[in-house]
Chains A and B, each alone.
Chain A
Amino acid sequence: MSYLTLSLTLIFVLIPLLLSRTLKLGLEKDTLIATVRSIIQLLVVGYVLQYVFQADSFIFILLMILLMIGAATQNARKKGASIQGITWKLFITFVFIEILTQSILLGLNIVPATPQYIIPISGMVIGNSMVLGILFLNRFTAEVENQKEETELILSLGGTPKQAIHTQLITSIKASTIPTIESQKTIGLVQLPGMMSGQIIAGADPVQAVQFQLLILFLLLTTAVVTSIMLGFLSYPALFNKRMQFLKLKS
């Protein structure tokens, strides 16, 4: 695509702008900000990727991945701000997921060990892990708050912290992973997954695109379940002290 044709796509920005103006929706400012940000961010990413791909150096790949993990941590930590030490707990969860998935993919030669594969796949894995982390923390902090009497009851009867928080933990792990599992049941029926569409547009063989999409789907299944479980088991001990007393969530 040339820059000329790309600029023509700005028509798709003008339509909402004009509509917003005439109907006084007040969306102009946000639309403009969104447009400008997406142009800048994606161009930067494009050039950075180009550079990294050409350099084909392990250090650059590592830096990119660390950058993604850092951004994901920064994004998700707000949702778990009431849990002590959530930042590093998220960080090691993302690092673990990344290492787990890449070592299977590269170790078994499922994908070639080139930046063209490693970086986009890492992006999808870490991005999904972040969303799962946010879903989990949202639900878990709500469950902990709503069920604090049950938690205290179990402790009072001589239950361990793990027993006292077990129901809330399992409920939250389930609730946060269900959307991933459910969406995979209907995938392809309504909407073609973005990556697969992109590949097909770029001229790839649809069947090959499907194979690759399946790989990603299965990868995201692992990502979802492992993220929630790991985050859950890292988070809950922060709710109790050494004397097995239930602490209030930080406000």
Chain B
Amino acid sequence: MNQAAIILQNVHYSADGIHILKNITGSFPEGKITTLVGPSGAGKSTLFKLCNGLRSPDSGEILIKGKSIYEYDPLDLRRKVGIALQSATMIKGSVLDNLQLPLTLQGQKIEREYAEELLHDVGLGEEFIERNAKDLSGGQRQKLSIARTLVNKPKVLLLDEITSSLDRVSQHDIEELIEKINRKYGTTIIWITHNLDQALRIGHYTWVMMNGELIESGESSLLQNPQDKRVQEFVKGELE
């Protein structure tokens, strides 16, 4: 493996007395696509929030590009390590308001052309631009959420089940877009998905998490031939 964009060392995290992440040690290689799979409640989304600085570990170290997460200014970190949240939450306002939110927060506005281009990239026509974001369908919200995350031009992109509500065609379009971004800008991609076919299709590497633990990690092909019993069962269940 080449250099790591994110390194986790003995990371523990609990909330409300629940031990959610247990001794996670591993890394996400720079400039590659790593998928993160595992059953519901495994702690995948929580791990993302730790990497983006929305939560801090109880113990252990997280290094982003070789520097401890605590050495970053939180706002700077969150712009560098962009996240598309699982909920694809929208703020009140239009599609445009939501798309340019990362810039609004810095007192700037988005260029109309750039906005249209981004929307087009994720498969939303420019006719959406003035629509009320809260009226979008689940899939449309996911598309907008991806576009919005891209506005900060993050070096690392955390994608939390961004295609779970999309039809197959849109799903492939998004995969192509993310692969393009990865190739063109060398952006490190970490992608949580419940779809193992998708993980095999797009991921160079994969992490399998269960019950707050990192069970296996390595090249994506490990999903076809897992070592761990629990992973074998999980994979069998998912690929059925």
Q: Which of the listed residues A152, A153, A159, A160 has the most CB atoms from chain B within 10 Å of its own CB?
A: A153
How far is the CB of A108 from the nearest CB of chain B, in Å? 40
Q: Are B78 and A156 in contact (CB under 8 A)?
A: yes
- Taking the complex as formed, is B55 at the interface, i.e. its CB lies under 8 A from any CB of chain A? yes
List the interface of chain A (C-beta within 8 A of B).
Answer: 149-150, 152-160, 163, 167, 243-246
A149 touches B105 (CB 8 A): no
Q: Which residue among B54, B55, B82, B87 has the maximum number of chain A CB atoms within 10 Å of its CB? A: B54
Question: Is the beta-carbon distance between A157 and B101 smaller than 8 angstroms?
Answer: yes
B220 part of interface (Cβ distance < 8 Å): no
A-B contact pairs, 18 of them (CB 8 A): A149-B89, A152-B54, A152-B85, A154-B101, A154-B105, A156-B85, A157-B149, A158-B75, A158-B102, A158-B105, A158-B106, A163-B105, A243-B56, A245-B53, A245-B54, A245-B55, A245-B74, A246-B54
B82-117 contacts to A (CB < 8 Å):
82-83, 85, 87, 89, 91-92, 101-102, 105-106
User: Are B78 and A150 touching (Cβ within 8 A)?
Assistant: no
Measured between beta carbons, the chain A residues less than 8 angstroms from B56 are 243, 245
Cα–Cα distance between A155 and B49 once the two chains are bound (Å):
11
Tell whether A153 pairs with B75 under 8 Å between CB atoms, given A158-B102, A163-B105, A243-B53.
Answer: no
Residue of A154, A156, A167 with most partner-chain B CB within 10 A: A156
Chain B, Cβ-Cβ closest to A159: B105
* CB proximity of A152 to chain B, nearest CB, Å: 6
Task: For A245, list chain B residues within 8 Å (CB).
Answer: 53-56, 74
For A149, A160, A167, the residue with the greatest tally of chain B CB atoms inside 10 Å of its CB is: A149
Pick the contact of A167: B76, B79, B92 (CB < 8 A): B92
Could you say which residues of chain A place their CB within 8 Å of the CB of B106? 158
Question: How would residues 148 to 167 of chain B score, 1 for a CB under 8 Å from any chain A CB and 0 otherwise?
Answer: 11001000000000000000
Nearest Cβ distance between residue A192 and chain B, in whole angstroms?
41
CB proximity of B42 to chain A, nearest CB, Å: 20
Contact B74–A243 (Cβ < 8 Å): yes
Closest 6 CB pairs of A and B: A158-B79, A159-B105, A149-B89, A244-B74, A158-B78, A153-B89
